[in-house]
Amino acid sequence: MSNGQLQMLQTPTPEEGFDLAIRLAQKGVEVTQPSEEIRQMLRPVYSRNVDSLIATSQVIAIHFQTIAAANNYWRAWTPHYG
């Protein structure tokens, strides 16, 4: 995301797709609560709440599913070992 804008969902590897999913989730929080001050105030509360952490993982997983589909599930991607 350059300049805060989503450019594309295509990524070279699943790892980069997962990183993009995390950035999308973070951007969603920023849009929902634009005040950095309030987000910083709330962070200690939700970062210690298991339900909030599970919900965060679910949002990231949903974004990752979308990105994986956009990348044809990286069928052409071959991992390089060693």
- Residues 18, 71 contacting (CB under 8 angstroms): no
pLDDT at residue 4 is higher than 60? no
Task: Supply the pLDDT for residue 82.
Answer: 46
To the nearest 10 degrees (0 to 180), the angle between helices 36-46 and 50-70 is 110
- Residues 24, 6 contacting (CB under 8 angstroms): yes
Q: What is the pLDDT of residues 23-77, one digit of tens each?
A: 999 999 999 999 999 999 999 999 999 999 999 999 999 999 999 999 998 876 6
The residues near 34 (Cβ < 8 Å, ≥ 6 apart) are: none
